[in-house]
Amino acid sequence: MSAYLAGDRHDVNDVIWAIRTLEWTIGAIFAVFIPFRWIIWAVAALYWSISLWIKKHPNPPYAQRLLRLNQTMILVDIVLLSLVVSVTGELHSQVFILYSVELLFLAIYSSIFWSLWGIAAIWVSYGLACGDWMNPELWWREFILGFIGVSATLLGVSLRHTIRKFQQNSLHLEQVMALKTLQESVLKLSSLSDSIAAILQTGIRLLDTDGGYVCQQTPTGRHVISQIGFDVSKERSFWERYESLTLDRGVITYYPHLENHAHRQTSFGLPDPKTRELILIPLRDQEAIIGIMGFTRSQKKPPLSDRRVILEGLAEMVVNQIRFEKAQISALKRGRLLAVLERVGRIVNCNLEMSTLLRSLHQASAEELEIDSFFVALSVPDDPSKILMQYLFDDGKEYAPEIMDVGAGAPTEHVLTTQEPLLLNGSMDSSQPTGSFRIPKSAIIVPLIREGQVIGAMSVQSYRISYDEDHMEFVLSVASQAAIAIKNAQLYQQTESIALTDYLTHLGNSRQFSVMLQEAVDYASSTGSSLSLLLIDSDSLKKINDHYGHIAGDAHLQFVANVIRRNVRSMDTACRYAGDEFVVILPGAHLDEAVTVGERIRREMDGKFAWNDSMIGTTVSVGAAEFFVPMTTEELFTAADRAMYSAKRGGKNRVAVS
């Protein structure tokens, strides 16, 4: 917390110091008619003098100085407040209220341990200032101060946790954006060594290491492409020893505490006797390991093994650059066809956003082939019977992504199962997915394979011409590049946390709900507008799964989602929270309005679900809660959750309020 408050965003320290100065200024104004008012005036003057001095010396370390001053003045303020209480009426003095301000400062700056000590100090100081320990009024006020202190401490813990999460997410996003910027910039460099050097420089900065290197394993031996911070050739025995261990394991290998292993320094010759950490990342091109990337660090910092996303991203870019160089050499040898592949490689490798990537892939392929229909279908994890039609262009129209069944024996299913490409001429039927459902004259369907695993299929189709083996070779080459880029785009999407839609119901998922609820609560808190929340739970899913199977259960969940979607406004947010639980955020709605929406949903659900031409008696239980300041998102959700369980206990098929 201290580090955060001392950073660039040090306005918190400014605000706290301003509050402290204003606190004593107001005290000085109201102290005009009390004895010993000069004490309060002197304290107010002291704070104003310090404020003016700070303004005249804004240079670094201004933020750190103000942070320490704010922390120190908490104790000073407690002593001064106790003195003022003592001379302005003891137990009759209303100055004790200002202790609550110091309790707030304690909660912001201190851990639970020091906050509790601060509360105890305020108790003792106030008791000593009043002197009358047997007076019930004193203990009542002590109780109030203690309650305020504990409440502020708990809020401070939540604030620090939120700030830490914000910092982690911000750092994660900054690193991902740095990787994206790097990936775009290295494509502008002409040589492999320059590209690898740029990747290493960015890696050293992101990982906060002393040096790094990349070497490639070639048929003729080990070849160092680039090195920064040390000379690998001077410690050959060291590097070959640890590289061989990493190559044998085939995974990222972390070697901490090297400074404690003197025999390693003697036997293998560390690059620096002070080196503490070494991490080696195998560069994997599908099944083959084509090289090693390594980073070293001599200072004690968070372990490099915690930066796996960055390490994998850097390694992926290095592999892409090595592969890209091979593709360029191959393009020069094989002529025009592979020259087009080189352009395709440039296009797909500079895009991490999925829709832009696939659209660019389609356009690049269309420059070489006559394409009337083009699709990229991705495998659905844990459900081989379905595919995600991520991109579909047919007969001049682009279609939205959707989940589709993979027909048994269909060409796409054959490619996904056998991992073998298909060239079809005049031998297709209507099972081949196209937007217009026309039967193509010719089609090429190839698997998208990444590290030996099929992640989907890509297809080009024509209603006019017939493709040949050369065309299929081109599509296969494009697919090999596309598989890497698509996998990178998926990783980018995961890292950016933009997968916010539940694939079964097409409502938002729990992550989207968390983000949208926090935004709604923040808006309602700042504007004073109303906000309500519905928590909807199916009473019938387990019965449907047990009696009719999970396919019927999925259909039931989709039915619930459609009912919810029909009964909410465009400004509302409906999400599938987990399993058979759904949530609806209703901005601008009071509790009675939320109950009305819940009743509409409940009535439309009551016994309306049909399966195999028969009606199934299905119901939902709904809990409704309204937001009031200063509730948190967790408290609002808990209130709706309790209301929903109250509806369950009351017999189900009803709406209950918190």
Please list the ranges in the chain whose pLDDT falls under 70.
1-13, 23-24, 26-40, 44, 47, 51-67, 70-71, 88, 93-95, 110, 167-179, 181-190, 219-220, 231-239, 259-274, 329-352, 427-437, 492-499
pLDDT at 278: 84
Tell me how far apart the alpha carbons of residues 49 and 327 are, in angstroms, rounded to a whole number: 69
pLDDT at 362: 86
Active site residues: 580
Tracing tokens 């967790």 back to the chain, one arrives at: 634
C-alpha distances in Å from residue 473, one per residue of 319, 334, 415, 470, 636: 22, 12, 15, 5, 58
CATH code of 192-315, in short, is: 3.30.450.40
pLDDT at 625: 95
pLDDT at 593: 94
Shared fold status for 192-315 and 335-495:
yes
pLDDT at 263: 42
Which among 598, 610, 614, 627 has a CA at the least distance from the CA of 537? 598
- Alpha carbon 528 to chain centroid distance? 29
- Supply the pTM of this predicted model: 0.33
Indicate the DSSP class of residue 429.
Answer: -
Domain ranges for the chain, please list them: 2-166, 192-315, 335-495, 510-657
The CATH architecture one would assign to domain 510-657 is 2-Layer Sandwich (3.30)
Length of the chain counted residue by residue: 658
Tell me how far apart the alpha carbons of residues 513 and 495 are, in angstroms, rounded to a whole number: 18
Strand partners, 278: 255, 296
**C-alpha atoms less than 13 angstroms from C-alpha of 434 in its C-beta half-sphere:** 26
DSSP for 434-483?
Answer: -SS-PPPSEEEEEEEEETTEEEEEEEEEESS----HHHHHHHHHHHHHHH
Tell me how far apart the alpha carbons of residues 321 and 127 are, in angstroms, rounded to a whole number: 71
The CATH architecture one would assign to domain 335-495 is 2-Layer Sandwich (3.30)
- Alpha carbon 629 to chain centroid distance? 27
Q: Which two tokens stand for residue 280?
A: 């080696």
